[in-house]
Amino acid sequence: MIAVVKRTATDEQLEHFIAWIENRGFKTHVSEGDNETIVGIIGDTTQIDPFLLESMSIIERVQRVSEPFKKANRKFHPEDTVVDCGHGVLIGGGHFQVMAGPCSVEGKNLLKIATLAKQAGATMLRGGAYKPRTSPYAFQGMGEEGLDLLLEASAQLDMPVVTEIMDPRDVQLFVDKNIDVMQVGARNAQNFNLLKEVGKTQTPVLLKRGLSGTVDELLMAAEYIMSEGNPNVILCERGIRTFETRTRNTFDVNAIPVLKHLSHLPVVADPSHATGYTRYVRPAAYAATAAGADGLEIEVHDCPSEAWSDGAQALTPEQFADAMRRIRLIREAVTADIAQEA
């Protein structure tokens, strides 16, 4: 971290500032230029609040030179992380996976949807048993019964399940039931107690970007989980809230290469919540695949008009099968080892 000192600062004020920093266990390096004096602050500056320094009268501005996320940072871990999602399914480091299924687990139709999704090429089953709904009067999910339906389908089809966890008190239940992947949803992306609690397990976590979360906030959320000891984090871009109203969210396709540049963790995209309308889900899925995502999470329902949640953005199994055929082609193009022509 570097602090640029105002030209008007007296030697005494500068000495006072340096003493303040060093008293907190940091080393300093002062370089006096013709126009400005820069104080380099050396040590684990994640502990320092840059805004506090900037509020000091002699400080012009403060800049971090290293990111505050360490465990999620590619600088300290250049190799891609590969997360083992169970049932032999790996994600990251060249392993591409598609998670498909209904928004909510609704009952017996889950197995039908899962079977069709698997036939089309899905490798993981998604479905919410605990649903974060904007209205308390909307369907809240089947709870534990929903988890059991997911596990039945998982066993029958030999595919891992990914399902949302909303409450830190449910972590033990998810672990006891051997849920393959716990999803932390957009609304909980900064629920630090939940992040810490899932961080105490070794269960893979699909961590969604917050509704208005920056890339750095997503990476700091991952840091919360990893700093508790769980390295199995999968990042998910699911659209962010912007001024645009034609879609449910704005799909930030940029975030995919940005996250892959900054972090070694696998990056998944969710084109369903990113767009909110069935007609836009496939184009967004193709864009995400072309942008180098390590996987996709797509809502699929056998009868979207009857879905208990998010029917407006569900693909039918036929639409999903069509999408999968094209996703495979795009994936081939993106990963092809094409010789340079002279």
For ligand PEP, the binding residue among 59, 122, 186, 253 (CB under 6 A) is 186
Cβ atoms 226, 199 nearer than 8 A: yes
For ligand PEP, the binding residue among 101, 117, 122, 238 (CB under 6 A) is 238
Contact flag: residue 260 with ligand PEP (CB under 6 A) = no
Contact flag: residue 132 with ligand PEP (CB under 6 A) = yes
Contact flag: residue 103 with Mn ion (CB under 5 A) = yes
Distance, CA of 29 to CA of 21 (rounded, Å): 11
3-state secondary structure the chain: CEEEECCCCCHHHHHHHHHHHHCCCCEEEEEECCCCEEEEEECCHHHCCHHHHHCCCCEEEEECCCCCCCCCEHHHCCCCCCEECCCCCEEECCECEEEEECCECCCCHHHHHHHHHHHHCCCEEECECCCCCCCCCCCCCCCHHHHHHHHHHHHHHCCCEEEECCCHHHHHHHHHCCCCEEEECHHHCCCHHHHHHHHCCCCCEEEECCCCCCHHHHHHHHHHHHHCCCCCEEEEECCECCCCCCCCCECCCCHHHHHHHHECCCEEECHHHHHCCHHHHHHHHHHHHHCCCCEEEEEECCCHHHCCCCHHHCECHHHHHHHHHHHHHHHHHHHCCCCCCC
* Size of residue set near Mn ion by CB under 5 A: 2
Phi, psi of 5 (to 5 degrees): -95, 140
Q: Candidates 33-41, 136-144, 185-193, 280-288: pick the segment binding ligand PEP (CB under 6 A).
A: 185-193
Q: Which does 208 bind (CB under 5 to 8 A by kind): ligand PEP, Mn ion, none?
A: ligand PEP
Q: Candidates 28-36, 181-189, 253-261, 313-321: pick the segment binding ligand PEP (CB under 6 A).
A: 181-189
CA 325 to chain centroid: 25
Contact flag: residue 264 with ligand PEP (CB under 6 A) = no
CB of 322 to ligand PEP, least distance (A): 22
Q: Candidates 13-21, 29-37, 162-170, 304-312: pick the segment binding Mn ion (CB under 5 A).
A: 304-312
Of residues 48 and 207, the one with the C-beta less far from ligand PEP = 207
Of residues 103 and 125, the one with the C-beta less far from ligand PEP = 103
Contact flag: residue 273 with ligand PEP (CB under 6 A) = yes
For Mn ion, the binding residue among 224, 259, 310, 320 (CB under 5 A) is 310
Question: What x/- string results for residues 20 through 39 when contact with ligand PEP is judged by CB under 6 A?
Answer: --------------------
Of residues 37 and 154, the one with the C-beta less far from ligand PEP = 154
For ligand PEP, the binding residue among 116, 153, 198, 208 (CB under 6 A) is 208
| Interaction residues for ligand PEP, span 49-88 (CB under 6 A) | none
Of residues 197 and 310, the one with the C-beta less far from Mn ion = 310
List residues binding Mn ion (CB under 5 A).
103, 310
List residues binding ligand PEP (CB under 6 A).
103, 128, 132, 185-187, 208, 238, 270, 273
